[in-house]
Chains A and B, each alone.
Chain A
Amino acid sequence: MDLANYKKVWKDQPEEKNKISSLEIYKMTQSRSISIAKWIFMIGLIEFIFWFFINYLATKNGVLKPYEELNLMTFLNYTNYLQYIVVVLFLLLFYRNFSSVSAVDNTKTLMKKILLVRKTVKWYVYYNLISVVVFSIILNILIFNSPNALSVLYNINSSSIDQTQMITIIIITQVVMIVLMLLILWLFYYLLYGILLKKLNKNYLELTKLSEI
């Protein structure tokens, strides 16, 4: 049978038997959306709060105490101010991108906008990861340039131990920890967003590929 005949079958199909009443439709409008955009927005918000808290706890819990003794507080304070400014900027961008998502757009634009909301969070996470690495490098340079650093930070009597060996061990430990952390985070994000955006990415690719014909 030809598709044109199927078109006729389609047109003749009876209307839905379980018609939804006005009252039911009204009730539905009052319920919460479970759309992918909303999910990404909520998860994104949690990520912002998570990274902000990690930062906040580090400063409040006395983790930074030894750095006071090494006169690194000005450096740490400025880094913190910078961090807050960046978080606010990212949050504004994130909210603006989310608000622009509208089901009235054409399909391609809509998908692009949803992916942009996700990308904002991705940039924020990248910013955090890169800043952790850069921050650690700068801090290490500053610490190891200070003569009494090891005794202040690790309670080690600097005369009783081979300093070069100690520094090597500390650096290797730090590198391993950072790589491990990055790996865990990558896996977490890969799974979380991979599952959530699989369908969207596939559809977006199909539509963009189409434009290249």
Chain B
Amino acid sequence: MQKELEKKFLNDFEKNQNIVHKVCRVYTTNQDQHNDLFQEITIQVWKNYSKFRGEAKFSTWMYRVALNTAISLYRKSTRSIKTQDFDDVSFKIKSIDYDDTKDQQLKALYTGIRGLSDIEKALIFLYLEDKPYKEIATTLGITEVNARVKMNRAKDKLKKSLNS
């Protein structure tokens, strides 16, 4: 039973790991922190996996666990000082299909998001991932109206930073 659950988890998680990588990129600034947060999210998703009943899509459920871990459970490690920041090195997701202008824009977007508060980061992340307000509100535990108000403020803040 446990083996079966493990297998299913590994399959689900591996397929959706890109979500976790994106959350890590938003909430951390170097590779060590990225790896630490990735590991903590993996632990939390696995710990709660037996509670996942499948009434929602696995990816939807994973957004919540990943963001919760990044916002409330993760502590930045001290060893992070030793490693280079992402901004200093060539952006690690760069690929041949992705031209330089787009790469620059993506870099600017990540830099802008990193300047936001943890809650604003979550809002913008879910907006960029095309999540409806209802889902954003339930994920954060606030009303839809509050989510909209806060989202507008976060967007304004991000726009300002992108245009400066």
Q: Which of chain A's residues 30-85 have a Cβ closer than 8 Å to chain B?
A: 31-37, 39
Interchain CB contact under 8 A, A17 and B95: yes
In whole angstroms, what is the CA distance A122 to B142 when docked?
Answer: 27
Interchain CB contact under 8 A, B42 and A17: no
A residues whose Cβ falls under 8 Å from a Cβ of B: 1, 3, 6-7, 9-22, 25-26, 28-29, 31-37, 39, 102-111, 114, 196, 199-200, 202-203, 206-207, 210-211, 213
Interchain CB contact under 8 A, B36 and A34: yes
Q: Which of B22, B92, B149 is the one whose CB lies under 8 Å from A17?
A: B92
Q: Write the chain A residue with the least CB distance to B11.
A: A22
Interface size class of B (residues with CB under 8 A): 35 or more
Q: Write the chain A residue with the least CB distance to B94.
A: A14
Interchain CB contact under 8 A, A207 and B140: yes
In whole angstroms, what is the CA distance A103 to B69 when docked?
Answer: 7
Interchain CB contact under 8 A, B17 and A16: yes
List the B side residues contacting A3 at CB < 8 Å. Answer: 155, 158-159, 162
Q: Write the chain A residue with the least CB distance to B139.
A: A106
Once A and B bind, how many residue pairs between them come within 8 Å at the CB atom?
A: 167
Is B93 an interface position by the 8 A CB rule?
yes
In whole angstroms, what is the CA distance A213 to B149 when docked?
Answer: 9
Q: Is the contact region of chain B dominated by helix, strand, or loop, or is it mixed?
A: helix
Shortest beta-carbon distance, B96 to chain A, in Å? Answer: 9
B residues whose Cβ falls under 8 Å from a Cβ of A: 6, 9-11, 13-14, 17-18, 21-22, 36, 38-40, 42-48, 51-52, 61, 64-65, 67-69, 71-75, 77, 92-95, 97-98, 102, 105-106, 109, 117-119, 122, 127-128, 130, 138-143, 145-146, 149-150, 155, 158-159, 162
Known: A14-B93, A14-B95, A104-B65. A28 touches B42 (CB 8 A): yes
Interchain CB contact under 8 A, A26 and B6: yes
Q: Write the chain A residue with the least CB distance to B43.
A: A33
Interchain CB contact under 8 A, A108 and B158: no
Interchain CB contact under 8 A, B109 and A12: no
Interchain CB contact under 8 A, A213 and B146: yes
Q: B13, B72, B98, B140 — which one has the most chain A CB atoms within 10 A of its CB?
A: B72
Interchain CB contact under 8 A, A12 and B17: no
Interchain CB contact under 8 A, B140 and A107: yes
Interchain CB contact under 8 A, B93 and A211: no
